[in-house]
Structure 1
Amino acid sequence: MLMFKRYSPLSNFFRSAPMRIFLAPFMALALFVLGSANAAASTAKTDNVSAQLEANVTTIAPGDSFYAVLKMDIRKHWHTYWINPGDAGEPTRINWTLPEGITAGDILWPTPSTIALGPLINYGYEDEAVYLVPLTASAALARGQTLNFSAHATWLVCEDICIPEDGQFSFSVQTGTQTTPDPVWGKVAQSALSALAKPDDSITTGAVLKGETLTYSFAGPGLGKAKSAYFFPIDTGAVRHAEPQLLSRGSEGFTLWTKPGFRAKRGLNDPIAGILTVDGRAITLAVQPGTAPTGTGADTMPGAKPAATGMGALIQALLFAFIGGVILNLMPCVFPVLSMKAMGFVKRAHDEAAEIRRHGVLFLIGVMVSFLALGGLLIALKASGQQIGWGFQLQYPPFVAALALLFFVLGLMLLGFMHFGGRFMGLGSELTQSGGNSGAFFTGVLAVVVASPCTAPAMGFALGFTLTQGTGITLAVFAALGLGFAAPFFALSFFPALLRLLPKPGDWMVRFSQLMAFPMFAASVWLVWVLDGQAGAIGVAAVLAAMTLIAFAIWAAKGERAGKISAIIATLAMIWVLWSGLNGRDADGLEPQVWSPSTVQTLLAEDHIVFVDFTADWCVTCQVNERLALSSKKVQRAFKKADAVYVVGDWTNRNDDIARELARHGRAGVPLYLVYKPGKKEPQVLPQLLTEGIVLNAIKRE
């Protein structure tokens, strides 16, 4: 049989040498393009960051665990952020789309460094950051299949400006009989694992809050010889990041001295988790609230003199307390009230000496009772384990709100908008036989109350001395403080000749009284600002509403019977507004994610229900809805049960993306509430006025 060879002129054409030379560059280019397309799936490049996301294995055995490795090469002088970014910034986030049978854990964060930017301190990474994400393969996975992973990562990169960036990544891993490390990324992951902070059970800890000083103490092998240390708390409100952490050493360890953050100011109730760096070593731990371990140098702040002891120290503390009490009369929050008291003495200069002295004694008693009561309360709270000091009552939002309203009312009284029939001696009104005695006593009480936000020179040493003393000495120091505080007016009442040093009565007293109203209003504004850091915008709105109701009640009370009834109703409404506003959202409320179209799509791809809240701080309806319909425990549990995610589009400041999204749904303003469910093309639009029931029904799984 004859065999014929198939002939094709075209095949010979492509086999010819000239043609092979001609096609070679094009084939190389095609291979390069294909390779680049494959690399692009696991690489994202921006002007400031080159990021790669890969697995540390090429093959995974069912039931084994492995890591996804996100490696970022960061532009010189730029930085990204840790889970707690410090004073400003946003942490890196990864949203996964995982194959069936794979679960992902939380990011394992590399140890950050401190990055100074003007007056701010940030926690983050420069030059390079390698994030690990633990992944676990189900034991039920079949061998020999390809697992395809995709992820959307977002990060904020900053120099003197900040740019939000993101990248879309994908990679694949084969299942097999055994796990095989990737020759390159296996080593990258191993290096990153080795550099992670490690726990150390031999270290004992203690966190103590004393006024404006927060200490973290650590005892353990070799820590007494530490040369440098820094504690990175995970909680953004644990410390003031811009404040230095001063190191003091003891025989068994060391203490870091700093200032508390906004959340720590409310008290140390839970362990503070974070990373402790000591001489280049990184340790994960949680600092326990309570007393500092012995031998950690927690007795003396770095640069401060050792605490004095003995009778000499007690005498010095009592003297400083007395002097501080005298100076306290000149503080802005106290002076207006006591100046009116002085003018009351001027008006009564020609009355019987016995009556004036009686008023002076009663004023002294009112001051002493109040200071001793304050000292006793401080002792009781310390005995219960709380770390507190002077002004501790200002750590409680209801007290701050009440004090702000008190200063507001006092300002109105000084301006002459309200009176108490001339019987309230405390503001320089005419004294009468029936009201003068009680007025003198309660003026002393009132003066101590309004003095609580102030600290005078010399008080610091005296009050600091009491922190390590027993009950008797603490009360003695508070008594000395009260004696000093009451001394000027007590002296005026017993030595009438001193009244000659004061100006004679006249019209100037009315003008002066009105002038003193403005320090009262200024103190009220300052307290409202303090309240903003404690109770947020809702708490501030509640106090401002209460001030409006007080003004209405004062106006209505001047009328007939109907006006007085209106005043009572306004007062009750004020109480309800304050109670409602200051019993804010639970600390463990809904944790929002920041809205963007890509965020919504990513969450839907992960089979989440997405509740989008377009809101603004200046939108009253938004705040009411948040308060009444989105803050309850029942709603929080329903979100968790339905695997729903709360996403917030904040339109407080102009945002064109949000404006376009509002317009797309036929709205020109906020609020707008959208509920997206997997498998549905369009979201459900909720009413502008929400109830708890509407929210619960909207996020139910179908």
Structure 2
Amino acid sequence: MRRLLLALVGMMTVLGSAAMAAPATSDWVENEAGKVRLIAAATTTGKAASMRLGVHFQLLPGWKIYWRTPGDAGYPPKIDWSGSKNAGAVTVLWPAPKRFVLAGLQNHGYAGEVVLPLDVALPRPHKAVSLKANLDYLACSQICVPMQADLNLTVPAGPAQPSDFADVISRFAARVPGPADVQGISIDSVEFISAGETTSVRLSVSSATPFDHPDLFIEPAETASFEAPRLRLSADRTQAILESAVVPGTLTAPLGQTPLTVTLVDGERAMELTAIPVAGAALPPMTADAVDGASFLAMLGIALLGGLILNLMPCVLPVLSIKVLGALGHGGAQLHHIRAAFIASAAGIVVSFLALAALAIAIKSAGAAVGWGIQFQQPAFLAVMIVLLLGFALNLWGAFEIRLPSALMNVGGGGGGHHTLLGHFLSGAFATVLATPCSAPFLGTAIGFALARGPVEILTIFTALALGMAAPYLLVAVWPQAAHKLPRPGRWMVRVKHVMGLALVATALWLGLILATQTGLLSEGDKADGATAWVKFDQAAIARAVSEGKVVFVDVTADWCITCKVNKAAVLDRAPVATRLRDGSVIAMRADWTTPDSGVAAYLASFGRYGIPFNAVYGPKAANGIALSELLSSDEVLAALRQAAGP
């Protein structure tokens, strides 16, 4: 009996220690906005006089919480630590915020996943700490809801060991703004300008690395509220001037006598500085296209070219079957009928691009991730596209024919859908929708430029893309004699329709496979012998591997991305690139964006990219990564691997 009791006591001790050491986390507290918990970077307190914790939020799409200075409305998370034991002063570290615009109000905060790192002083090192956090925060979507959560966490005494949450806490701690020089940024000046009734603060900065689209946040709010900054960039994007106007009626103290904290956020970089601004002179007025005007005009040209090339991408080929039949149906038709039909197709493309631009502006204003082709991550969208494609195929095969009122569709000549304005308009719109899984040359550059900026730039760049893609149709509208000289319609077109219908069915089957994968009906098989040993994407692991002198190749892909599959078949899965990725000298890391993933979206945005395919190479000589072209070549990949590895 004595031996049995000793054994039971020993088992209880071991199990109790394991139960305390393993979690390093409180229970999740869930509500309509998402869930929140308290996590620790270590499983035990160790010998240090403080320890690192984190308040871990996982917010549902469309919801956001607020930064320490929330902007025009809202309030930041507040924590009451009453009842905690062996816990002294608690310092909250605030990761760099994002700007949200809702109903015209400027707000600063976070969406998706975020961790607020905490440094907790331990009055008695070596002793266990018992934490009781009463968390009060405001979560907003279309409405704002005050939230409350009671979080309890006990960290036992013992030699410090990292927990499973050390990486995620470190990842968000790295986003906390630091000194400018650490971020590779130099401060040229902090000035205030008074011109009539307008007062503003201007920050001038330089960087060895080109800026993407920097944003500026100014505190304290008790001194004044500030509008979103106007931005000027040099031609090489290494110098930036950001000027934020004071909201009228909010200034409470002279700016030249009051210290201000300015926070500059540029992608993954963020710096913070406290200074008293000096008087500066007003600059010439800035307009929407005065921000690096030459670069903006050049980007418009790139967008036009990218849209034109999009017509040749494999995503658009199935829809070209419909357009080929439409063109053949014009043989011998009157010139004004041909012109009207091709203008309608071009209009379908332009209207669809404008709708995509409006959707991107709305999603970005709500603080959610936005990207090129993200609608293919939604099973409902895929299901609708499959039905439409099969419907078009059955129509081509003669299973049925849809005839709408001639008053709406017929442009003269009475035929089926190929001789109607609405039919041509819809074919143009359909081509645009199916083009979004492709990332043509120049397209990614233009999309990245637009989505990193404001509504005006997004709308302008998307319009240029639309005009580029619609250019062939507009050319025929200008010179309709080209279509007029095509063979006249006849019985031979029945066989052409059958062949074109097969192309649409093949596209529907491809979308069906993607839908099956997203819904769990189909999973990937085992890796074939000799194939590249891809590891799951982990952004934190990249920095660790580079610090150890290793080279990392990152491939961001999705089942719905046609260009990604072209890159795999032509470059990544073939020698000599495949040989290099398999020889053990490179860590091959793959991120799957088939379904929505805020982490992948944020990673792409850090490079100014909002669509895929995307590839980057890291190494001792390229710690920040070398971004590659949308369409890969073996020479480009091998050269980047050599550059990242160094001599």
TM range (shorter): 0.3 to 0.5
Using CA pairs under 8 Å that are at least 6 residues apart, name the structure with larger relative contact order, 1 or 2. 2
More helix, by proportion: 1
Instruction: Output the TM-score relative to the length of structure 1.
Output: 0.36
Structure with higher Rg: it is: 1
